[in-house]
Amino acid sequence: MPLPLPNLDDRSYEDLVAQATSLIPVEYPEWTDHNPSDTGIILIELLAWLTEMVLYRVDRVPDKNMETFLKLLNGPEWANREMGKGGDLQNAIRETVVDLRKRYRAVTCEDYERLAVEDWNETEQSQLLGKIRRSHCLPERNLALKNPDARETNAPGHISLVVVPDIPEEASEANSSPFPLSPFSPFSPSPSSDLLTALWMFLDERRLLTTRHHVVAPEYVPVTLSASLVLEEGAKVADVRSRVHESIHTFFHPFKGGADGTGWPFGRNIYISEVYELLDDISGVDYVEAVKLKVIYPTMQINNELDQSKEIGLLVGVNTIIGRGLLDEDTNKQVVLKDYELVAIKIDELILKEAWQVNA
């Protein structure tokens, strides 16, 4: 709702003259003669008198003129039916302003993202093909290219929108999801080709003429986690194991992961120090002995299983980048992700040592 306009029809001739003369030292410091005989003061008094004569017209726009403006904004077929029923003209103005502020055109990255997660989800097609839960826009990028190196190059005039469909996690567990799911992770939703096509057409009507847009699915980086934990005395192995699985999958979850709980951010690197901290804070864990992250390169899919013949782990103690493993100058080990990628995490090996085993 817009802020109410100030009432300007309460100023007298004296008020107008005083306000104008008070601005002289600020706007024109060299003007020092403010006597009534000064030509400039005479002009100020004249303009103040004329202003007072016509100031009554402020806030005096007739209702018929208001309705004419509303018809111009809403189209020739618009009619204020509420006014005919004794409705308030201000409500009609408010509704018109709100409607004008609704996003329709796709110009900025924010426009594309909001159109995908808000306007698209209100269409009938979204009820059939699926709604969008998350979207991430990358300007001057063409992610529809097959060559990974070409995706990283600058593409003027192009814009790519990465979308994640809104599906319940129970659908993946029951294998009843209409969307393709990664066989690597228990929950890594990806939009169907029909949804991508329909959303592309939806945005095509709203884009700028010179913009070439692409709607693509996110790429999930398969990462395995191996950890060795020492439990507190009296902690139950089964309970701690369950909490570890829940914490890890929640932290990297596409919808509820990340630091703010709104989903793992696109392109955010995985810092092994964060995984250490996450595991160490789990109830029943005394301390973390070791953590290993390994990125699996799915070169092909056969019988719905990933070919794990090519893989690279996070190398410890090597100050270089090999594959996706990175050890920076601050020895902060991490797995590098691209700005259109999410994480598909899988716990490969989890060793839980009870206190008596360590102290023996």
Instruction: Give the model's pLDDT for residue 81.
Output: 57
Domain total of the chain: 3
The pLDDT-based confidence of 324 (bands split at 50, 70, 90) is low
* 329 and 243 belong to one structural domain: yes
* 233 and 316 belong to one structural domain: yes
Q: Write out pLDDT tens, residues 236-277.
A: 999 999 999 999 999 999 999 998 899 999 999 999 889 999
* 167 and 140 belong to one structural domain: yes
Q: Is residue 75 part of a domain?
A: yes
Picking from 100, 133, 164, the residue at the C-terminal end of a domain is 100
Q: Is residue 235 part of a domain?
A: yes
* 138 and 212 belong to one structural domain: yes
* Percent of the chain scoring above 90 in pLDDT: 41
Q: Write out pLDDT tens, residues 86-142.
A: 457 788 888 888 877 777 789 999 999 999 999 999 999 999 999 999 999 999 999
Q: Write out pLDDT tens, residues 153-209.
A: 999 999 999 999 998 766 554 444 444 445 556 678 889 999 999 999 999 999 999
* 36 and 166 belong to one structural domain: no
Picking from 42, 68, 100, the residue at the C-terminal end of a domain is 100
The pLDDT of residue 322 is above 60: no
- Full residue range of the structural domain in which residue 352 is found: 220-359
* 355 and 228 belong to one structural domain: yes
Q: Is residue 6 part of a domain?
A: no
Look at residue 17 and give its three-state secondary structure. helix
Look at residue 224 and give its three-state secondary structure. strand
Q: Is residue 123 part of a domain?
A: yes
Task: Please name the residues in contact with 335: beta carbons below 8 A apart, sequence gap of 6 or more.
Answer: 221, 223, 269, 270, 272, 293, 295, 314, 324, 325, 326
Q: Of 158, 164, 134, which Cα lies nearest the Cα of 213?
A: 158
Q: Is residue 146 part of a domain?
A: yes
Instruction: Give the model's pLDDT for residue 9.
Output: 66
* 48 and 86 belong to one structural domain: yes
Picking from 44, 71, 100, the residue at the C-terminal end of a domain is 100
Q: Of 136, 135, 142, 137, which Cα lies nearest the Cα of 158?
A: 142
- Which stretch of 6-15, 92-101, 207-216 has the lowest confidence by average pLDDT? 6-15
